Structures are given as C-alpha cells and as structure tokens.
Homo-oligomer: A and B are copies of this chain.
Amino acid sequence: MNSRRVSVSARSVDEYRDSIEQLLRPLAARALESVPVPAALGRQLAEDVHAPIDLPVFRNSAMDGYAVQAETVVVAPVTLPLAGVVAAGAAGQAPLPHGAAMKVMTGAPIPPGADCVVPVEDVETDGASVTVQRGRTAGEFVREPGTDVRAGELLVPAGTSLAPRHIAALAAVGVAEVPVFLPVRAAVITTGDELVPAGTALRPGQIYNSNGIALAAALTANGVRVVSVQHSTDDPAQFRRLLTAATRSADVVFTSGGVSKGDFEVVKDVLQPLGGQFGAVAVQPGGPQGLTVVDGVPVLSFPGNPVSTMVSFEIFARPILRHLAGLAPAQSYQLPLLDPIRSPEGKRQFLRGSIQWSQDRHPAAVAVVSGPGSHLIAGMAWADVLIDVPAADTSLPVGTIVRVWSL
C-alpha cells in the first residue's frame, strides 16, 4: 500500500474538519453518468442544462374561451359568428376569419389572425355565434412563445440536487436524459473483537455491532453510495486485508474503533506506519481521531464508542459529503436551553438534544436528551439535534442561547 503523509496538526473541531474537507474536496471532480430524467430525482446535475426549445412552444390560450381579434370586441356586448373549435393538440393551422370567433381550449394554439381570448365565462353562445359581454384588449389570455424560458437559456445549473420541480422543468422542455455525478462511494470497516452481528447470542463481554449499520445509514442518508460494510477483529492482518479491498472499491473509507490509547488499537497500529495522523481533537464525544491517505484514498478513522462514531460523522464528514452530493447544509438554530449543562473545560461538547416546537412548527427551545456518555446510543434515538457547547463554556444555565445542529 502506498500512502502519503497528511497534515493533521489541527486540534480544534473546525481545524480538523477543514483538514478532512481539503482531503475530500477533490471528489467533486468525479465521474459522470447519463440517466433518464425520471430516474434523476435526488441526483446531482453534473453540467448546466439549457432549454432546447422555447416554453411555451407556441402561442396558446391561457383559458377555455374564444379566440378573437381584440379590435372586433372593443365595444361590448357584441355578437360574432362562431367559426369552429381549436382543441388542445390540434395542428391549429386554420386562421381566424376576420370578425369571427373560434372556440379554444386552455393550452391550444391561438389561430393565426386572433390576438386575444375571451374566457368562456364572459360569453353567451347559441352554437352558431357568440355574444361577448365585455371589451377585451390585444394579448389578454394569450401566452406568447418563450415567455417561460427561451431556447438556449439556462434551465437548471450544474450542481443542482434534482428535486421534483427540476424534474418537471426538464421534462417540460423534452430533455430525456441528464448528466449526473456518480455518488461518492464509501466503504465502512468496523473493528473490535467484542463486536458481534445482530442475530447472534451475546457471550460475556460481547456487544452488538451497531457502528457498521449506523455509518452505512448515515452515509446513505447524505447522498453517499455505500459499497461495502465489513467488520475486522483486532487482528492487524485481517484489518489490512479489508482495508486494501476497501481502498480499491471506494473513494473514501470510514473505520470505527482502534484509535485510542489502549494496548490493542488495530486501526492506529496499521495506519500510523502508513503515514496516518492520530491524535486528540478538543471535542467530546469523538476526541480520538485518525486521518490517513492509503493508495490515494482518504481513510477517516473514528473512535468506536457508538455515539462517538455518529457524532464524528456528523461534525467532521457530513458537511463536506452533503456539499459533494449537492445537498443543502444541515439546519442549524440558536435556541434557549431547557436544561442546565456542565461541560469539560477546553473541549467543545456536542450533547444530544430534542427541539421543542411551537404550535406553528417553529423551533422554540432545546432540551437535553440522555447523558453526555459516548456509549448512550439508545438515548441518541430520542434526539433530533446536537447541542454545540463551545470549548470555553463549562456551565450553561437554563435559558442560555445555544447553537444546535439538526441530526
């Protein structure tokens, strides 16, 4: 395995996140694929799409009504002979005889010679003629070609995460396929002799492996394609084998566990000799972190406590991954605390919180959910935000305004 040294001298959350962003930013220039528009929902557009045609395509009626020449209905009421019907979808070549009216449906072509539409509500008809009840001026209820978008104009810019409204616009101009970025591909490797999969009976000292499943879910929810989720025991040879396979199939690798100060730290033991930078970020949970580039692939090593793993993902990886996927940044609010907080000096703390919503669904305040312990993964299920406690703050009374980040 080749590796290059990466600079991880940073120790604050922001500095360490910047290091990770610099490492992952080149993934913005990843490969494209062309997909049919109906399958492009949620994908990130890779190139600007310009309208290939005008919209409206042709001059058409904004109403069900009667196409007339405005000059013939200046003085109303006035009765005009009915010269036929233009249906939506009709070729619409028959011109309007001077002084007559033609019935026209919404969206149907305005017959040549007509310059306004009298809505059906404002007309009385006996089938052979129509009586227009009020005067009209040229252009009324006529949609001119290109007034929505002109051929050649930018319709959807590169980088857009395609929502239903973009899909609608692309379909309306007849675009059949669009170039989208391939998602970032991630591999996950969890570590630890004590972890066993669900469905196994626990022996003494064993716990269920949640980090692999949880990281895969978090990656998927943030626009990343998870190509593999593997588990390694604390055997360095096994971890090295899984790592080699992961770096061959993924753009970025996430590991959990084995980064701390114990005697058996398989991730650190394997990656540090490859140039991996391991150390403590001034944060709780999620302090011990590692960052390595193996065969050109960034490897982010998170600590193994389940909450530490998830919080590490949220604060260090999620912002850049959402950016790479063209997704909006996570919501953030400043809210008053409903519970007092104590926090260790010199460490930024991310506590699990739950937003209290006002009656009209606006965030009003935040409660602390569960405790600060990095093992409280069940408690995290009850949270919907992380409460961001600055490193300098050690005691926050009820009512303190804090920043919270949506999970």
Pair A217/B381 contact, Cβ less than 8 Å: no
Closest to A89 in B: B194
Say whether, besides A175-B198, A376-B148, A332 and B361 are in contact (CB < 8 Å). Answer: yes
Closest to A175 in B: B198
Pair A53/B214 contact, Cβ less than 8 Å: no
Kindly state whether residue A2 has any CB partner on chain B within 8 Å.
Answer: no
Q: Render A29-40 as a binary contact track against B, CB cut-off 8 A, 1 for contact.
A: 000000001100
Say whether, besides A193-B87, A194-B108, A380-B165, A171 and B208 are in contact (CB < 8 Å). Answer: yes
* Stretch with Cβ within 8 A of B (4 or more), from A236-244, A304-312, A342-350: A304-312
> Would you list which residues of chain A between 168 and 200 have a CB under 8 Å from chain B?
168-169, 171-176, 192-195, 198-200
What's the Cα separation between A173 and B378 when bound, in Å?
8
Interfacial chain B residues near A195, Cβ < 8 Å: 89
Partner of A204, one of B58, B88, B199: B58
Pair B213/A62 contact, Cβ less than 8 Å: no
Kindly state whether residue A375 has any CB partner on chain B within 8 Å.
Answer: yes
Min Cβ gap A211→B in Å is 8
Q: How large is the interface on A (under 10, 10 to 19, 20 to 34, 35 or more residues)?
A: 35 or more
Kindly state whether residue A92 has any CB partner on chain B within 8 Å.
Answer: yes
Kindly state whether residue A246 has any CB partner on chain B within 8 Å.
Answer: no
Q: Render A194-233 as a binary contact track against B, CB cut-off 8 A, 1 for contact.
A: 1100111011111111111110111011000000010000
What's the Cα separation between A220 and B37 when bound, in Å?
14
Partner of A378, one of B37, B55, B62: B55
What's the Cα separation between A143 and B378 when bound, in Å?
14
Interfacial chain B residues near A149, Cβ < 8 Å: 378-379
Say whether, besides A193-B88, A221-B41, A202 and B361 are in contact (CB < 8 Å). Answer: no
Kindly state whether residue A115 has any CB partner on chain B within 8 Å.
Answer: no
A-B contact pairs, 29 of them (CB 8 A): A37-B198, A37-B213, A41-B217, A41-B221, A53-B202, A55-B377, A57-B206, A58-B205, A85-B263, A88-B264, A89-B192, A89-B194, A90-B205, A92-B204, A143-B375, A147-B373, A148-B376, A163-B407, A164-B214, A165-B310, A168-B211, A168-B213, A168-B380, A169-B210, A169-B378, A171-B208, A171-B214, A176-B199, A331-B361
